[in-house]
Amino acid sequence: MRIRAIENEQEFLEIKEDWNRLAIGLSPFNDFDWMYKWWQYFKGKNNLKILVVEKNSRITGIAPLYLKNIRVLKVLPFKKLCFLGENLSDYLDFLLDSEYKEETFEQLINYIINKLDYDFLELGQLNSKYPNFTLWQKYTENLKLEFVSNQECPRILLTNFASYDDFYKKMNKNLKGSIKFRQGKVRKHGINLEYIFKNEITEKDIGVISKISLKRQVFLYKKGDNKRFCYFVDKTKKNFIRDYFCSTNSENTLLAYAVCNGEVVAYDLALLSKDTMYLWNAAFDPDYDMYSPLKLLINELLKYAFENNFKYFDFLRGKDRYKLEWTDNLSLNYKITRNNSAISHISHIYNNITPKFLLDLLREPSKEILQNNLNI
């Protein structure tokens, strides 16, 4: 076996076919189109460092990595080795040929530890339900790497139920009661509530969901709630979302709307694989909070998932209350970290001694930024 590092976009493009071959069975975030497009938008001054393992002229493994060039305390240059896709993506991993799985994995992890130059290693979104997880456990222990769970990921195993009706019958009593109550309120107020599902997503759709998400974010900020993140605050992220969801294979994407009297009041933006629906982004208009439109929409989305024979409905990372209403089945995301320089240790100390509320304050966008995005 031999390993080479891809450091330019031309070579990145040349491995598309092998990339997608090795990504079969993983989440859509591991597909070539998602990763390549992500790099186009977020490469900045960073450096590609994709590792490719070959045996007998055949690619048996890919580590989709890059070096993130940042500054600690805005002064000290700092190189962090990460997965491509990083915080916009879930369930990241090495892409491995099953015939040479462990041999390839060992080559990659040893190369990362012993051959690459970086200050800090951070590989996140490694999911406990993924096929390589036992290898991560084994080799991080052997190499004495820090390997800890840092996120919970709710999901529903749809095959545990004969149908949506069976799922609804066994639904948590409080959730079922809440759905019935909200549906009753909609009828009582004479609201015409419709649900729309579409695979062909347009730029107009992205504009609609962006406005709803930002409006929800401003509403929470005014209440003093800084916990929710919003992709659409960042123009680069918004442009990436528009480009990917409006240009990719429509079989892999789904947008669901809840529409009250002709106005979109909630949305679910999902990615689809052969057997799994991944709920990637969702929001609702706070003016319609009394009807819980997002809850009603997720209920309809689950009907759609059953009708279209999906095996899993995955809420992805985040133990949000609205997710846990639907399931107590959790997988775990793990993160590997390794300090590899004195600068890395300084950064570690800074992040650990600075109060969390100050770090959050530094990282969160201001109300003014949100309001400017909404033009209010």
What pLDDT shows up at residue 228?
84
Q: Coil, strand, or helix at residue 179?
A: helix
User: Which segments of the chain belong to CATH 3.40.630.30?
Assistant: 2-144, 156-331
Neighbour tally for 202: CB within 10 Å = 13
Q: If we measure between CA atoms, which residue out of 329, 334, 304 comes closest to residue 172?
A: 329
The answer to whether 147 and 123 have CB atoms below 8 angstroms apart is no
Model's pTM, two decimal places? 0.91
The answer to whether 268 and 302 have CB atoms below 8 angstroms apart is no
The strand pairing partners of 332, in sequence order, are: 152
Task: Output DSSP code: residue 234.
Answer: S
Say if residue 190 is exposed, middle or buried (CB neighbours under 10 Å; 0-12, 13-18, 19+): exposed
Taking the chain (376 residues) in runs of 10, the rounded mean pLDDT of each run is 97 98 96 98 98 97 97 80 95 97 98 96 96 96 94 97 98 97 97 97 98 96 86 96 91 97 98 97 97 98 98 95 94 94 58 51 50 51
Span between the terminal Cα atoms of the chain, in Å: 58
Read off φ and ψ for residue 152, nearest 5 degrees.
-105, 145
Does the domain at residues 2-144 carry the CATH identifier 3.40.630.30?
Answer: yes
The answer to whether 55 and 100 have CB atoms below 8 angstroms apart is yes
- Between CA 59 and CA 4 the distance in angstroms is 11
Does the domain at residues 156-331 carry the CATH identifier 3.40.630.30?
Answer: yes
- Within its chain, how far is the Cα of 193 from the centroid? 29
Task: Output DSSP code: residue 152.
Answer: E
Q: CA distances (Å), 29 to each of 24, 34, 77, 136, 281, in order?
A: 11, 6, 29, 19, 14
- Between CA 204 and CA 257 the distance in angstroms is 13
